[in-house]
């Protein structure tokens, strides 16, 4: 039986590229808030002979993430891989005190990842197999003015991933944990930046380093899934060769 893979944030960018790359060999459940985009990606996958379903999900709402897991289990009977990919990056300087954006980043990037783990882990522990993949960022290792809260959420994702890895290893749960740390990727995430000057600054940086295609991150995800079961590809950092 083909592995069942749940992907959050599958309506664009890295999530969508991953869905399309995995579609041939896996059964997919795609999640995000934009139903129209999910619907068209699922249609495209089905036309190419792949198997995918979608469920509209706001990952900042635990009940919706639990409902996503239930949907995957009801549809396919099991969850083999859960990819916490949904994320936002409304970068801004601290002095602007964009409290709503701080809250939103914490809700989506940190809580959304925790809720995903919480929803996927019990079934994986029961069947003694599974894989959690968290999409963090190379900003889980460094911080710059303007990216403080975003970095904080990705440092948290890194800590959550490593702590979870140690816990499931100690419990002999046979669950693999992978954290992926991309540099600049050519997606729409820049549109979550509300500050005009900040957005221009990030756009300039993106052009200067030559952002990598989201398919590169999708390939890292595929490699992590396809590593033999007794080995976790735990931490993957990938960047454009021109990103210093
Ligand atoms: O961004 P984008 P990426 N509930 O904007 C979804 C990390 N990363 O592919 O809900 C559920 O194309 C949103 O869907 P929708 C980044 O931090 C990126 O670049 O319909 N879903 C969309 O599908 C993030 O963790 C770069 O609006 C929610 C998806 O998230 C991951 O890569 C660099 C949601 C975002 O797609 C994917 O981002 C790096 C919610 N509440 C790390 N809110 C980079 N691009 O440079 C948003 O180091 N989504």
At residue 73 the predicted structure's pLDDT band, cuts being 50, 70 and 90, is: very high
- Structure-block tokens of residue 41: 């990606």
User: Do the domain assignments include residue 92?
Assistant: no
Residue minimizing CA distance to atom 4 of ligand 1: 58
Q: Rounded mean pLDDT of the chain?
A: 98
Q: What is the pLDDT of residue 163?
A: 98
Which whole number is the average pLDDT over 168-175?
A: 98
Give the Å distance between the CA of 66 and the centre of ligand 1.
Answer: 20
Q: What is the pLDDT of residue 194?
A: 97
* Count of helix runs (H) and strand runs (E) in the chain: 8, 7
User: Do the domain assignments include residue 62?
Assistant: yes
Q: What is the pLDDT of residue 200?
A: 96
Pairing relation of β-strands 81-84 and 235-238? unpaired
The owner of tokens 């995957």 is 72
Atom of ligand 1 nearest to the CA of 109: 25
List, in sequence order, the alpha helices (H) in 62-141: 62-76, 99-105, 112-127
Ligand 1 test: best mutation among 8, 10, 14, most atoms within 8 Å of CB? Answer: 14
User: Do the domain assignments include residue 188?
Assistant: no
- Domains of the chain: total: 1
Which whole number is the average pLDDT over 106-114?
A: 99
Which whole number is the average pLDDT over 183-204?
A: 96
Q: What is the pTM of this model?
A: 0.98
- Nearest to 31, CA basis, from 6, 50, 2, 63: 6
Q: What is the pLDDT of residue 234?
A: 98
- Structure-block tokens of residue 121: 């882990």
Atom of ligand 1 nearest to the CA of 89: 17
Ligand 1 test: best mutation among 68, 86, 153, 193, most atoms within 8 Å of CB? Answer: 86
Contacts of 158 (CB under 8 A, 6+ apart): 136, 140, 141, 179, 181
Give the Å distance between the CA of 186 and the centre of ligand 1.
Answer: 11
* Rounded Cα gap, residues 10 and 139, in angstroms: 21
Atom of ligand 1 nearest to the CA of 84: 25
Please list the active-site residues.
150
User: Do the domain assignments include residue 191?
Assistant: no
At residue 87 the predicted structure's pLDDT band, cuts being 50, 70 and 90, is: very high
Residue minimizing CA distance to atom 29 of ligand 1: 9
At residue 235 the predicted structure's pLDDT band, cuts being 50, 70 and 90, is: very high
pLDDT tens track for 119-144: 999 999 999 999 999 999 999 999 99
* Rounded Cα gap, residues 174 and 172, in angstroms: 6
- Structure-block tokens of residue 138: 């190379």
User: Do the domain assignments include residue 220?
Assistant: yes
User: Do the domain assignments include residue 67?
Assistant: yes
pLDDT tens track for 6-61: 999 999 999 999 999 999 999 999 999 999 999 999 999 999 999 999 999 999 99
* Rounded Cα gap, residues 170 and 160, in angstroms: 15
Which CATH number covers residue 50? 3.40.50.720
Contact call for residues 28 and 19 (beta carbons, < 8 A): yes
User: Do the domain assignments include residue 206?
Assistant: no
Residue 149's domain spans which residues?
Answer: 4-87+98-183+213-235
User: Do the domain assignments include residue 192?
Assistant: no
Contact call for residues 4 and 25 (beta carbons, < 8 A): no
At residue 170 the predicted structure's pLDDT band, cuts being 50, 70 and 90, is: very high
Which whole number is the average pLDDT over 191-209?
A: 95
Q: What is the pLDDT of residue 180?
A: 98
Contact call for residues 148 and 105 (beta carbons, < 8 A): no
């Amino acid at each position: 039986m083909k592995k069942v893979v749940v992907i959050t944030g599958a309506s664009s960018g890295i999530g969508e590229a991953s869905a399309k790359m995995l579609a041939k060999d896996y059964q997919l459940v795609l999640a995000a808030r934009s139903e129209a985009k999910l619907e068209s990606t699922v249609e495209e996958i089905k036309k190419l002979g792949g198997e995918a379903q979608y469920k509209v999900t706001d990952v900042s709402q635990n009940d919706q993430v639990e409902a996503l897991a239930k949907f995957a289990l009801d549809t396919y009977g099991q969850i083999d891989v859960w990819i916490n990919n949904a994320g936002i990056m409304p970068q801004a300087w601290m002095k602007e005190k964009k409290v709503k954006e701080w809250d939103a980043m914490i809700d989506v990037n940190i809580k959304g990842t925790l809720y995903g783990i919480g929803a996927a882990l019990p079934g994986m522990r029961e069947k003694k197999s599974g894989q959690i993949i968290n999409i963090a960022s190379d900003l889980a290792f460094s911080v710059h003015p303007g990216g403080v809260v975003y970095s904080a959420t990705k440092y948290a994702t890194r800590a959550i991933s490593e702590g979870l890895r140690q816990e499931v290893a100690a419990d002999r749960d046979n669950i693999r944990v992978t954290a992926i740390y991309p540099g600049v990727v050519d997606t729409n995430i820049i549109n979550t930046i509300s500050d005009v000057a900040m957005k221009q600054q990030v756009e300039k940086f993106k052009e200067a380093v030559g952002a990598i295609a989201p398919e590169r991150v999708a390939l890292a995800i595929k490699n992590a899934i396809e590593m033999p079961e007794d080995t976790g590809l735990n931490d993957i950092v990938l960047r454009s060769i021109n990103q210093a």
